[in-house]
Amino acid sequence: DAAGSGLERIANGVNGFLFSDGNVEELSHLLESAISMSEVEWLHMKTECRRLALEWPVEYNLEVLKDLFLEPS
């Protein structure tokens, strides 16, 4: 399960991790995997996270939130 647009934006193990809502065992496994990642793997994930962040700038997210929560003028 994913909050917001997580399924569209997160590539599991590439730029983040996805796990089923309420599945503590799955989350625990992912955290263990993250802790055991090599420096090269972390650098790759960091690079992919940065690339994703640049594709989805804060301004875009603010516009989406305004559209969702503010009444039209």
- Encoded tokens for 69: 């929560």
Tell me the CA end-to-end span of the chain in Å, nearest whole number.
34
pTM listed for this prediction: 0.65
Task: Answer yes or no: is pLDDT of 31 > 90.
Answer: yes
CA 50, CA 54: separation in Å to the nearest integer?
A: 6
* CB proximity list for 55: less than 8 A, separation 6 or greater: none
Evaluate if residue 17 carries a pLDDT over 80.
yes
| Mean pLDDT value of segment 53-62 | 83
Nearest to 11 by CA among 66, 49, 61: 49
Q: Which CA distances in Å does 37 have to 13, 31, 32?
A: 10, 10, 9
Task: Work out the pLDDT band at 60, boundaries 50, 70, 90.
Answer: confident
What per-residue confidence (pLDDT) applies to 51?
Answer: 92
